[in-house]
Amino acid sequence: MEFSPSGGLFQFSAQLAGGVAAGGDAVDFITGPDPELGPTHPGVRMRPVLPTWHPADEKPIGRLAKKARRVLRAGQRALAWLVVLALLRRSRPDVVVWSTWRFSMDALGAVAARRLLPRSTIVLVAHEPVPRVRADTTKERHGRVLDPALERAWHSVDAVFVLGEEARAKVHERWQVACPVVVIPHGDEAALRGDAPVPPCARTGPVVLFFGAWTAYKGIDLLFDAVPAVRHKVPDARIVVAGSVLGVDEAALTARARALGVHARPGYVATAEVPRLFGEARVVVTPYRRATQSGVVHLAYTFARPVVATAVGDIPAAVRDGETGLLVPPDDPDALAAALVDLLTDADRAQSMGDAGAAWLEAEASWTAVARRVRETVDRVRGAR
């Protein structure tokens, strides 16, 4: 189940569905209209029946229009939950897989589904162990309705999957669940790679790519602070910042990007554009201030690109310092610049790290490995039930 038909959570869910289906299970993937990826395995039946919307639909609008859109989308999400509950009641699946819950109605819908399906195994993939404020994703969201609703929803599931040990500890600390909380790898991003050959990063120019949502915790300002030091050592370095804008001042960021000579590409990046962006980059940067895990790291490895990342959250479990990339302290633009210069000026080292990332992804974090861990947990829980 994934309400949004595009974006990182959708892409994760679509590929997980394919991995599970490859193990022999029949999978219904319920999502919104016109999904950006089709089924990744013949055993997946894509059902785009939810009246939801795409992240690409986020257009700059005025304050009153935003309020009206918020009301409209709340209505759409409520209707989507009614559709979900009707489908579950009719199909009575053996297993239901939820994605991260963001709103009170998500929690209430999950509790209602538990009552409808007392014999089904219900699991949650918790990309974020706690909900975040959209305008400032460094802060947790709380509310008089939200908190108790989420408490009940978390205690309604039979197992929880998270993407790292720190996230696992956060689940236990925040929700104190009794069910298994299992760490799974993020998986690769092969569905976004396309069919065209990808040039080795050693043959690219000195290009740095920041990819993903422009939001408070992603540290774009830290990257901008590092740009002058990078250019001092690598005058022809090209820095590209691409992604949708969520809760930050787009005008201020793009103005600063122009002043620094950074190529800013605000707006949702369609899947067809992803291979070109990563194919042109020598190194991918994730200067985050916090993180549970990052699909961008796995996306970089899918294209055999090394990653320069801040050592926050569960990122160090994926970015192996000196092997698949370089780790730097958070909020340290000088260290970030030095790491970027290191790989921009040593194409062979960048290639070696990118290849190591791709090999690690195939060996330990493929969708086959993810699906196997999910299936083992579900089988164990079903046996106990």
What are the pLDDT digits (tens) for 288-307?
Answer: 998 877 789 999 999 999 99
Position 59 scores a pLDDT of 66
Domains 8-187+366-384 and 190-364 share a fold: yes
Give mean pLDDT, residues 183-201: 91
SS3 for 48? strand
Position 34 scores a pLDDT of 95
Count Cβ atoms within 10 A of the Cβ of residue 368 and give its class: 0-12 exposed, 13-18 middle, 19 or more buried.
middle
- Distance (Å, rounded) from C-alpha 279 to C-alpha 3? 30
Least confident stretch, 17-21, 74-78, 195-199: 195-199
CATH of 190-364, one of 3.40.630.30, 3.40.1170.10, 3.30.750.24, 3.40.50.2000: 3.40.50.2000
Which amino acid would we find at residue 89? Answer: R
Asked if 291 and 219 touch (Cβ cutoff 8 Å), the reply is no
- Distance (Å, rounded) from C-alpha 370 to C-alpha 350? 27
Position 148 scores a pLDDT of 95
Banded model confidence at residue 252, pLDDT cuts 50, 70, 90: very high
For tokens 């960048």, the residue is 350
**Mean pLDDT score of the chain:** 93
Position 67 scores a pLDDT of 85
Asked whether the predicted pLDDT for residue 21 surpasses 90, the reply is yes
Banded model confidence at residue 134, pLDDT cuts 50, 70, 90: low
Position 140 scores a pLDDT of 84
Q: Which two tokens stand for residue 50?
A: 């939810």
Asked if 242 and 209 touch (Cβ cutoff 8 Å), the reply is yes
Give 323's contacts (C-beta < 8 A, 6+ positions apart). 353, 356
Torsion angle of alpha carbons 268, 271, 276, 280, nearest 10°? 60
Of the candidates 88, 296, 100, 121, the one whose C-alpha atom is nearest the C-alpha of residue 208 is 296
Q: Which two tokens stand for residue 286?
A: 């994730």
Position 60 scores a pLDDT of 65
Position 58 scores a pLDDT of 65
Which amino acid would we find at residue 181? Answer: V
Asked whether the predicted pLDDT for residue 249 surpasses 90, the reply is no
Banded model confidence at residue 175, pLDDT cuts 50, 70, 90: very high
Position 291 scores a pLDDT of 81
Least confident stretch, 58-72, 87-101, 184-198: 58-72
Banded model confidence at residue 62, pLDDT cuts 50, 70, 90: confident
Q: Which two tokens stand for residue 68?
A: 């009206």
Half-sphere exposure of 118 (CA within 13 A, CB side): 1
92-108 pLDDT, tens digit per residue, is 999 999 998 989 999 99
- Distance (Å, rounded) from C-alpha 32 to C-alpha 1? 10
Position 132 scores a pLDDT of 78
Banded model confidence at residue 57, pLDDT cuts 50, 70, 90: low
Asked whether the predicted pLDDT for residue 247 surpasses 80, the reply is no
Q: Which helix (H) or strand (E) holds 208?
A: strand 207-211
Position 112 scores a pLDDT of 97
Position 138 scores a pLDDT of 67
Give mean pLDDT, residues 141-153: 93
Position 65 scores a pLDDT of 84
Position 322 scores a pLDDT of 97
**Of 140 and 49, which is predicted with more confidence?**
49
Position 340 scores a pLDDT of 98
- Please state the domain extents for the chain: 8-187+366-384, 190-364
Topology adopted by domain 8-187+366-384: Rossmann fold (3.40.50)
Position 83 scores a pLDDT of 97
**Of 231 and 249, which is predicted with more confidence?**
231
Position 293 scores a pLDDT of 76
Of the candidates 257, 368, 359, the one whose C-alpha atom is nearest the C-alpha of residue 20 is 368
Give mean pLDDT, residues 26-55: 95
Asked if 270 and 211 touch (Cβ cutoff 8 Å), the reply is no
- Phi/psi-derived region of residue 337, left when phi > 0, alpha when psi is between -120 and 50, beta in every other case: alpha
Give mean pLDDT, residues 364-377: 94
> Which DSSP state fits 86?
H
Q: Which two tokens stand for residue 201?
A: 């990063």
Asked whether the predicted pLDDT for residue 150 surpasses 60, the reply is yes
- Distance (Å, rounded) from C-alpha 132 to C-alpha 63? 21
Of the candidates 325, 293, 331, the one whose C-alpha atom is nearest the C-alpha of residue 307 is 325
Position 56 scores a pLDDT of 67
